[in-house]
Structure 1
């Protein structure tokens, strides 16, 4: 799918991977709508990208419905959805003092990363089904998983579960949406220079970079955005998850 003049929705577009993706898609000619729960970060990112912003809680059906409706009223029907909204927390199943993992924290991570992703893509796809195809497809959905889906470190039980589920639901959703000519792809990025990673001490960032065989560095946000663009333009990429990590394997 060519993106010039096409409407693209980016969740979690207020910062990090989402902001970089929104900026690149807008620069390549897409009409971009950023959805984020943080109004300050969302508005700032939208201003920088020349995009539309709608505040949104991806875990709420009503909030997602309202945000998608606002984006559609502004730009028209969305053809591209990039789900970058997500959270992470390092919590061991049993901590050093023998206390169990907080179930509230576990549910929050699953709710935002997994349920929020599905909530958004399901409502997005339902709206898109009513639109006419452009060539051989109606649109494409790109979800953000993580290499933690495959080799998560200690303390990532909730995060790894949420990201692995994003991988697991890709093929059945691709089969669900195939009659409607809508593709779905997951990306499993390694460690990228997000604001959270940028804030870490240099020694810690150097250690993370050393764990990447080649290229021997951390990923750049712009590289993730370019990869999203490549997937959007590649019709045969569907129903799968692609690792994007420089051959890194978490220890």
Structure 2
């Protein structure tokens, strides 16, 4: 279970007893990323049930997004902003990587963060209004399944970076089991629409990953964070689109 606690400590700000996490525990942690995503989704879903009885949908949605940011410590948003700064610079591959490593945030990063948070707020509001908040339970789970898939199938070449070694225990069997769980959960909660939603999100997230790989020939920790944020917000928007057409 130390691998799970390593994942929980890294991906969330949930208070935990202090543990000595070894490099091997860290390498195992990636197997549990989707499970941590489901835990995050559970917190968001329960929050939506409580807040919706106290506040109007607009305020409830805003508070849910704040909880979403708090529980992850803004970890993935930071990657999203760094990627936006790098890609928005329209520079060479080496220069983009240098910009992404810079701790300072540029204009493109700020704009990207505003669009992301605003998009989540609007989407969560609509989900609450339509009484479709169950999407909040699944979205973080699916995003982290797509994350471990990207870790497994795309190269990480940044020696000493935060993602080094995470692929070690992500065998094809682990990916398959997580894939099966994702499909079953989506179908159980949403029926055929859940499978359509999962397919649409996977397609859109795949396009992002392939575009990153085309430009950088690798993925970095910032790319992983950006993928999580992108997958979460795409999942919300695709679910709303399906709601209207189905």
TM-score by length of 1: 0.31
Where relative contact order (Cα < 8 A, 6+ residues apart) is larger, the structure is 2
Higher strand share: 1
Which one has the bigger helix percentage? 2
